[in-house]
Structure 1
């Protein structure tokens, strides 16, 4: 079996200096530590404080859960492999690791999509939103988010593309390097359905919210003082909703920035220019993408008054 594995190039090591592995190990260690503690604190706050348990915050909680799981499943393994300068956990380990990375990464992205749609409905259609934002419905949506992500991350285990070591061979992901029809179709569909299309919908939601709020504040200025009072109350509630939308906006921008290099590398390989990518140009985006799990607790801590 070991002979076959070597032949498949499964355990092949990349010829880079030891320092490269140690630099990666250092960053992965920091990302892991911060990601686990930061997201654990957000979960802790959510469980301790009843005031935080509102439907919109369920999404934030779900994001903290998937980021926490991302940090705890990816960083320790990535770190140990970096110290050993190669993948040491075998083929099954690689598949499990990459599956977790995909599942929790996709869940975070689709969860951001759900947050955007939720804010969009609450801000642009406040009357329809009354029945919409129940805890039960929010839980149903969160379940759908996980199922959608599960479908995409199971595919490579069931033969549509596959999970293999990547970059400095210390981490695993779907095979975007080997140019087969299955791999190419999976890479393209994955990029579209879990990155670009959600991104388009998110942008649309935010544009509409921004315009709706600008419109509402202009209307208030035109009204007389009596009408203004009742409208001001409505304004306050819209302001609160918009505050949450602003936090979500920062979260989304940061998330997209951290996954963009990865999407670019993947698409360069998909387009047939994989030969121009050296191990570093595949390893660095992977590390940046894993770091997407650490920013959110800071973002809430800085902007969200209740979490502070």
Structure 2
């Protein structure tokens, strides 16, 4: 076929076929294996990878939630946000990653259009809650350490309110494709689903939806994270310079700098591929592209259910100590003591 005509499939699924692009399916991804997009070995490898994300992501996030329920000392305002992040990750790993594992094993979206919508919706909700939770963590650190509002104290009820807002924002992003503003369709190798950002049908206003996601659901959290952590770094560097003789202050400055770099890089690894690929598509309509490339952003976002807990929770000494106790390993009293000292040193650099 030639031009940018669309192939009509059952169940209201279609994708454009650009000129000279021969990697786009001519068979419904709801009906038959998509072997023209890759060898069975690739599909089975992806299935194994998704199974790992399902098992690891479900286990580590469930453990985090249970640990917080068991140990009262973990119920601080910051840890409420981390638990909110774990709930979002658990939703993505238990539904999104498991669905992808199952469909990759059959090499097509065997669960049909309804399963596609469920997977796309839950993955979008969980992903957006996770994304906004990372922004809330950054905001909380800025308010607590830098104290830009003077005597204002970030309390648990503020954390709970922020967590509720993350779900409101997530639903604002995930519901529109269910009611006609964009839609959920198979993406990449056609074994996972997400918002439609690569078709051109004006009926669904896909371009405006992608712009909305980029501006509201990516740019705002990203610049919030960058601003808050940059302010935190500036304050810590100033304190370290003023207290050059203090080894503990110098150590705290280095640890926080390393933490900030890891956090920002984790955010970018998770969301930059999706944002950049989607923007490239809507700004290069009609240009050939390989559908298999769309699998990469999907995999990276689902992998965040594992590496986000590692960054934000397992690197938290207090959380790590309690998890070790919960699973029967030796307690971490020394780690808890170290945590208290580290928090004290960081707090000293704030005004007031």
Regarding TM over 0.5, the answer is yes
Residues 39 and 65 of structure 1 are in contact (CA less than 8 Å); yes or no, is this contact kept in structure 2?
yes
Distance between the aligned counterparts of 1:66 and 1:7, measured in 2?
A: 28
Q: 2:228 maps to what in 1? A: 205
Q: 1:269 maps to what in 2? A: 281
- CA RMSD for the aligned pairs? 2.9
Q: 1:231 maps to what in 2? A: none
Matched, 1:283 2:283: no
Distance between the aligned counterparts of 2:217 and 2:165, measured in 1?
A: 14
Structure 1 length-normalised TM: 0.85
Distance between the aligned counterparts of 1:170 and 1:3, measured in 2?
A: 16
Deviation of the 1:290 alpha carbon: 0.9
Deviation of the 1:126 alpha carbon: 6.7
Distance between the aligned counterparts of 2:118 and 2:57, measured in 1?
A: 20
Residues 176 and 266 of structure 1 are in contact (CA less than 8 Å); yes or no, is this contact kept in structure 2?
yes
Are the structure 2 counterparts of residues 82 and 137 from structure 1 closer, same or farther at C-alpha, using a change threshold of 3 Å? same
Deviation of the 1:273 alpha carbon: 4.7
Q: Which has the higher helix share?
A: 1
User: Which stretch of structure 1 is more off in the superposition, 15-24 or 150-159?
Assistant: 15-24
Q: Any idea what the Cα deviations from partners look like across 1:225-267, whole Å, max 9, x if unmatched?
A: xxx9xxxxxx89xx69x97896465334213212222222212
Distance between the aligned counterparts of 1:12 and 1:195, measured in 2?
A: 34
Matched, 1:143 2:164: yes
Q: Any idea what the Cα deviations from partners look like across 1:106-160, whole Å, max 9, x if unmatched?
A: 11011111111111111211773x5432111211111011101111110111111
Q: 1:179 maps to what in 2? A: 200
Structure 2 length-normalised TM: 0.75
Of structures 1 and 2, the one with the larger relative CO (CA 8 A, separation 6+) is 1
Residues 152 and 190 of structure 1 are in contact (CA less than 8 Å); yes or no, is this contact kept in structure 2?
yes
Distance between the aligned counterparts of 1:143 and 1:245, measured in 2?
A: 29
Distance between the aligned counterparts of 2:274 and 2:104, measured in 1?
A: 19
Residues 21 and 85 of structure 1 are in contact (CA less than 8 Å); yes or no, is this contact kept in structure 2?
yes
Q: 1:11 maps to what in 2? A: 30
Q: Give the counterpart of 1:81 among 96, 100, 103.
A: 103
Distance between the aligned counterparts of 1:71 and 1:104, measured in 2?
A: 9
Q: 1:53 maps to what in 2? A: 75
Matched, 1:254 2:273: no
Q: Structure 1: any 5+ residue segments left out of the alignment?
A: 223-227, 229-234
Are the structure 2 counterparts of residues 291 and 7 from structure 1 closer, same or farther at C-alpha, using a change threshold of 3 Å? closer
Distance between the aligned counterparts of 1:7 and 1:134, measured in 2?
A: 48
Give the alignment of 1:113-132 within 5 angstroms.
113-125=135-147, 128=150, 131-132=152-153
Distance between the aligned counterparts of 1:113 and 1:217, measured in 2?
A: 26
Aligned length: 294
Are the structure 2 counterparts of residues 219 and 284 from structure 1 closer, same or farther at C-alpha, using a change threshold of 3 Å? closer
Q: Which runs of 4+ in 1 moved over 6 A?
A: 242-246
Deviation of the 1:204 alpha carbon: 1.2
Aligned to 1:276, the other structure's residue is in SS state coil
Q: Give the counterpart of 1:167 among 174, 178, 188.
A: 188
User: Which stretch of structure 1 is more off in the superposition, 17-26 or 277-286?
Assistant: 277-286
